[in-house]
Chains A and B, each alone.
Chain A
C-alpha cells in the first residue's frame, strides 16, 4: 500500500534537500560547527560569518535590514517575545492590547496570560470570510493601547489580511506598535517588512521547506521598537534572545527562504490551479462548504466543511490515503471545534467536520485527484453509516 499523499503543508513542510545540504555543512568536525559567539578563533569566526550571512539572507528575503533580525526557536517564541517583550517595555504607557479571534494560539495564549496579569485585551471579530476590517481596529484602539497583534496569513483558512491598512491605523494612533505573525507567509505571498509598515514581525522556517526549531522576530528600526528580553544568559542576539545561535538552523532558514521567495511567483499560479481543481472535485461530492473566499486566500490552503459527517471520523476515514488537518482541535469529548471557523460563523458541527488541505511544492494533480477520491469515499461511507440526514436526530 502506498503511503498517504501529504497535503498538510500548512502544518509543516519537508526540508528541501538543498537546505539540508547547507545545514549539514554546519554540523560535523569537517564543517562550520563552531560557536558563533566564540570570537578569537577560526572555528568561532567561521560560524559567526555563516550566522551573519544567514541573517542578511533572511532579511533580504522579507524586505528587512539584517540588524532588524532576531533569531528565535520558531514563530511561537517570536510571538511570545514580541507580545511580552513589548508589554513589559511599554507598561508605563498603557496596558491594552488588540488582537483578533482568529489568531494562532501562539498569539492568543500570550494575550490571555497578559489578561491574567491585569492587562486588557480586545479580540476583534473577523467577517464571514475571515478578514479583519481596519476600521474595526481603529475603533478598538484606545489611548492606552500599546500593541496590536494581527496575523498576515491565517494558518487554518489561508486568508491574507491587509497588513498595510492595519499599519496605517496604528500609525495614525501613534502609540500602538503593530506586530504581525507572518509564520505562514514566506513563499506563499509577497512579504516586505518595511513596506508593510509593521513594527514587529514573526517568521518561521519550517512552513517554507526549512527546518523546524528556528524562526525570527523582526524589530523595525524605523519605528524605534524596543522590547524587554524574555530569556537571559549569554546576551546573544543583542541581548534580546540569549542562547547559542544554532548555526545550522539559521543557515537552513536562510536557504529555505531564498528558495521559497524565488519559486513563489510560479508556485502561486500552479498551486492556485490545483486548489481550484481540488475544490471543484470536493464540491461535487455534495454538502461541501468552502471556508474563506478564494480571492482572499493564499493558493496553498483550502479549508472545507462537510455536512452530515462527524469530524473525527472524517479525518480517520481519509487518513490511510491522505494526510490533512481537521477543524476538530481535539479529538476528545471535551475538545472544542476550530475556533477560527467558529469565529467565521460556522456552527459547531461544520466547524468540526472540516478539513484543511495544505498544498505545497511536491503537490501534483494526481495528489489532488487522490484527495478528491479519498474524501468522496469517506463521505459516502460515513453518511451511509450515519443514516444520512434523512433520519431525524
Chain B
C-alpha cells in the first residue's frame, strides 16, 4: 500500500501528462500482480467500497484524539482524510527492529480483498489496524481510496495508456478488451508484457474506440474535392457509443459509453430502456447524445443538466428527455462494419433505423452541397439549410470522406470538423495566476471581465478565465505586463491594474455562452481562449455585459 500511496502522492502534484505517464508506467513495471492490477482498478474507477463512509472515519479519530485538538487540526488542514492521516496516533515506528510487535503494512491487494469480505460491523477495527500499520501517506491514500475521494488528476484513459505503453501497444487496443476484464487484470498485464496472447473477452456489449475528426482550416479546402465528401451537422451534445447485445443466457444488454470508453449507462437509464425496447439486435451505434423536447433539439446548456448527476429521478428524466442522433454503425449482429466505406455503413444504418423505427433514436441527416461555397453558406446559416429550429444546437458541420473506413483514433484526412466561427468579445484583464509545470514561473491563467453599471459607477464583472490561445512569445509579453502592473497579491494570484485608462484589453474567442449561477456575472463561457492581445485598445472601450447577454440562447 505504501508504494501505491507514494505513486498517488506524486501524481497529485505532477501537472504534466507525460510525466504522469512516466510515473504510472514506472509503477506498473516495478510492482507485482495483483497489487498493480488493483491500483489500475482504483484509478479507473473500477473499485467501490460500500461500507466505508466519512462518518466512520470521524468516529475512529474522535475515539483517539482530544476533540479540541482535532477541531483545531481539521480547521487548519481542511480535508478530513488528510487530517486523520496526519493526526492518527500510530504506534511508535519500531517496525524494522527485530522482534517488533508491529504488524507489517498491508499491501493494496490485502486491503482490497479484505474489504470485500469484512462485514460492516468488523470494518472499524480492521480499518484501525491498517491505519496503525501505515505511514502518513499510506493512511491518506487508504482513506481517500475507500471513501471514494481519489482525485489525483489521472483519467481512466491515462492509466490505460500507461499500461499500453508497457508493451508498446496503442491505448486503443487496451480499450477494446477493457470492458471484458475484471480487476486485478492479470491477463491484461500478461498480454502487454508479451507473456500471453491478447485476452479473449465475451462481453456482450463492448466498447470500440471511436474515430475522431481533425479541425479544418479554410486553407485545407484547396486540396479537397467536394465530390469525395458527405456532410452532416455537428451537433452540440456529447459523443456516445450506444451498444446493444445479448448475454450468454439470452438476456439483452444495453450500454452507453463516452468517447473515452467510460461506461455512462447508470446515468441514463431512460435512454438504455429506449435502446432495449427498439429491437435493434446486436449493434454498436456511433452518435450524439442530445436532449430533444417536442421534436426540438435543445442547446448544450440544457443537456448539461443531465450530466454528472449522482442520482437520476423521474422528474429529471421527464424534464430532460434524452435522444441519440445516430451517425455511424460499427457492428451489426456479429459483423464488423468498420472496414466498409462510410457510405455503405451509412446505408446499413439507414436500413436498421427504418426497420426498427426506434423511439428516441434517429438518423443524423446529411447536408446536401455541391460546392464548398454552398457548404460554407449552410454552416453560416443552418436554419435555412434544413436544420430549421434545431440550428441553435448545431456548432458547425462534419465532413466525412465517402470512401473512408472507420479507423479508431484521430487519423488525418478522412474526417474533418468545421466548427462555426467563434464568438468574440473584448474584455479587460483583471487577475493572473501562475501556471503549472513548465509554466510555473509564468503568469499564464488570466481572469478577464467586461464593463457594467455597478452601484458605484462603471465596474468590471469577471466573465471568464483563459489559459491558452497565445503563442509562447505572447505569453512572455503577458507575463511581463502582469509583473509590471500588479496592484495586489493573493497567494499565487495577482490583481493587475484594470482601470479605464490603464487596463489591458484581451480579445477573447469562445464557442458559446450559458447562464450560470456559479459565476458572479451570471454567465459561463464555453472554451474561452485569448485570440488577440489588444495592446492598442483603451480598456474603457472594451465590451459591456449587455453585449454578452444578447448572445445567450433564447430557451434558457
Chain A partners chain B: no
